[in-house]
Structure 1
């Protein structure tokens, strides 16, 4: 009775906290198709301006991979009104910071300024959208930057090839088969006309969302947005029709080799639904159940109790069209990779075959409540979430109501999703080995 009472009190407190953290926002469209979201929070004199473009690594043609990631760098080169190499200097000299990142599905740029520099942030993002200078010198410079990043993060980083290996083995025809950073030979083969055409197609207002969040005044911010963005021409509507993958119906075995590691790894990879689908949320809960924290099922069993693994984890990797799901482990001593596969499958099978306990279910619910609260704990986080929920999920209000999806997921749904997506005949077993073990 005492345990039930404590769980009830904890759930009530979390509910009160979540409801108190409702994110208020206003959204509208400019005539050129740019979607604008404004969030006012005057608790600190800071403002985030950000633009998310619906373009990522998957948006490419064969032989021209990596353009979205190239543009992540290229659009800091300079504009008609921002001299080459001065972007970061302007931001830092005005008390701000900025960055950008690219996934397979979107590219995100943002600046954080003292709120008295809001107009500067809006001007800079409008410059990036309307007046970038894209020339051969800039392309050559940023190609070298991308190559160095690839060497640092992928080629020379232990286990750095794991994500590209997953994509290569889970997808045969969809663009997710190729790495987000692209292939260097594709960038080398591209022409300046290729790069300009890519920009003109994807970096247009009707393929973007602008978010302004923080210490702002809504009416004056609307006027600045109108002044700086309304005259940017609308682009052509973008059509996406990527090929669908055939289901995996028989276990596949693959090997990959990494010169940067001494300890091998093994993983069972599964193709899962895109993140808009309800089952993607269920799979997130399954990964947390299996491997989030030292008390999780896989960690306690294989690391603590049986001393078979140095590290073990289950990860749901969300993407727009298809997700990827990976259960992986690194062995201790002479533990074989086949033993690790067997032990991991045993825990996944339990989720497929029986309901998780009510106690474990309540722990999961509390964990996702905490995640939800933390995701809205900073202005930068809120700006990113607003952009992402609108652009990729088609529902900005998920910033307030996504937790209701997790709350509504039942133990029966958890079992059903594991049975639907995480069966042995649907997996790719990947042995990730030190390069010296390569066989002829």
Structure 2
């Protein structure tokens, strides 16, 4: 009886935690097209202001890759009212932190301040949107910064071409701009003229191509007034025409990439998968968890525990138009890459031919419930999730409802999706090898 009581109490606590995780928000549009999302949480005296622009590496043209990532850096250079190099200093001097990041689909800027500096955060982002200084000096400065970033993160970093997709995307996409890396080509950036950077900014960095999120400790009506005061008069940009490129199915092939920075090779299987709006993308997240999440996962037990692999990986990188599913392992000792491939194929076949057990399914559901409860801890995470769900998935309330998608996934769904996407005849098999001195 006591055991039942404890289990009931645990279930109640989990239910309360999940309910308490509900994120209340308000959203509306300014007359210039800027979408605004407000999430008020007065439990701690901090507030995040963030702006996400619907522009990423996929929006670049052939011969001019790397522009979106370049602007992630360039828009910290300074504005009409913020001297060059002062952006970060202003933030830190007022007790805040800030950063930015770029993907294939969007660029995101944010600041987190003590809540009495909310207006400062709004002013900074309005300055970035309305008054950026885009001149040759700033372009030259950031060009060198990005070259150093590429050297540090990709050229001279072990497995950098995998982590940043420069050695993967071109094998899985033929026509879609996802085939290019986010950091782009240094030759393209060197060749670009100042007027091209100015034109790119004019096209994409307008209020009607952005979402502003304020999350944290604030009062709603004064905040709405400040938002209108700082952003309301920013001119609307031209409507951005979105690309609509349909890829043909991947044809099976085997490729080799080399990396002089590694000591241990890696075998990879790479598959193209659906958009992040598709339920199957969520199923593939669960497939990844089955294969490599924790020491009880299938690939870990099969390869790491049996001393055949040093490390295993499987994850679905779902994006706005398509996703990429990558699974692989670093062999240990005398294990060959071919043996690694055989072992991974056996695990894929099991998923395609057998339903996972009820016990494994319940563990999976518990894992994703726990991730959901923890995913929106802190106003920075909430701001990011609200912006991303609105812009890339078209449903802001997924911040509350996404867990229901995972709950709806069945064991049959997992088997079906494994059959649909993890096929030998529609994948790239990659040997990622050490580049020896004679090949350099």
Q: Is the Cα contact below 8 Å between 1:11 and 1:366 reproduced in 2?
A: no
SS at match of 1:314: strand
Q: Distance in 1 between matches of 2:148 and 2:228?
A: 39
Match of 1:276 in 2: 277
SS at the partner of 1:79?
coil
Paired position in structure 1 for 2:406: 406
CA distance in 2 between partners of 1:37 and 1:243 (Å): 30
Aligned to 1:20: 20
Aligned to 1:187: 189
Distance 2:366 2:438 in 1: 45
Q: Any residues of structure 2 matched to 1:291-302 within 5 Å, and which?
A: 291-302=292-303
- Cα offset, 1:6, TM superposition: 7.7
Could you tell me how far apart the structure 2 residues matched to 1:111 and 1:409 are? 36
CA distance in 2, matches of 1:43, 1:360: 37
The 1:432/1:181 distance shift into structure 2, 3 A limit, reads same
Using the alignment, how far apart are the partners of 1:111 and 1:343 within structure 2? 46
Which residue of the partner structure matches residue 239 of structure 1? Answer: 241
Distance 2:107 2:43 in 1: 29
Structure 2: how far apart are the matches of 1:275 and 1:188?
33
SS in 2 for 1:161: helix
Match for residue 436 of structure 1?
436
Confirm or deny that 1:42 pairs with 2:48.
Answer: no
**For the structure 1 residues 243 and 194, does the alpha-carbon distance in structure 2 shift closer, same or farther, using more than 3 Å as the test?**
same
Give the superposition deviation at 1:16: 2.3
Once the two structures are TM-superposed, the CA of residue 319 in structure 1 deviates from its matched residue by 1.0
| CA distance in structure 2 between the aligned counterparts of 1:360 and 1:395, rounded to whole angstroms | 30
Number of the residue aligned with 2:286: 285
Which residue of 2 is the match for residue 72 of structure 1?
72
Matches within 5 A, 1:194-209: 194-209=196-211
Alignment of structure 1 residues 325-340 onto 2, 5 Å: 325-340=325-340
How far has the Cα of 1:361 moved from its partner?
0.5
Distance 2:11 2:317 in 1: 28
Shift of 1:310: 0.4
Q: 1:2 to 1:190 in 2, by over 3 A?
A: farther
Please give the TM-score of this superposition, normalised by the length of structure 2.
0.97
The 2-side partners of 1:327 and 1:260 are apart by: 21
CA 1:128–1:432 in 2, change beyond 3 Å: closer, same or farther?
same
Where does residue 309 of structure 1 map in the other structure?
309
CA spacing shift, 1:380–1:372, aligned 2, 3 Å: same
User: C-alpha distance in 2, partners of 1:155/1:195?
Assistant: 25
Unaligned 5+ segments in structure 1 are none
Q: Secondary structure at the match of 1:301?
A: helix
Counting only pairs closer than 5 Å after superposition, residues 11-410 of structure 1 correspond to structure 2 as: 11-162=11-162, 163-248=165-250, 250-304=251-305, 306-410=306-410
Distance in 2 (CA, whole Å) between partners of 1:399 and 1:38 is: 13
**Distance in 1 (alpha carbons) for counterparts of 2:344 and 2:92:** 48
Tell me the CA shift for residue 438 of structure 1. Answer: 7.8
- Contact 1:175/1:242 (8 A) holds in 2: no
Kindly provide the CA deviation profile for residues 277-320 of structure 1, in whole angstroms up to 9, marking residues without a partner as x.
0100000000011101111000011000x210000111111111
Alignment CA distance shift 1:179-1:147 (3 Å):
same
Q: Which contiguous aligned blocks of 4+ residues in structure 1 show a shift greater than 4 angstroms?
A: 1-12, 437-440
TM-superposed CA distance for 1:104, in Å, is: 0.6
Shift of 1:262: 1.2
Q: Give deviations 1:102-149, integer Å, cap 9, x for gaps.
A: 011110000010101000000000000000000000001001111100
Tell me how many residue pairs correspond in the alignment: 438
Displacement of 1:89 in angstroms is 0.7
Inter-partner Cα distance in structure 2 for 1:4 and 1:213: 40
Conserved? CA contact 1:257–1:438, under 8 Å: no
Structure 2 unmatched runs, 5+? none
Q: CA deviation at 1:185?
A: 0.3
Using the size of structure 1 for normalisation, the TM-score is 0.97
CA distance in structure 2 between the aligned counterparts of 1:335 and 1:57, rounded to whole angstroms: 38
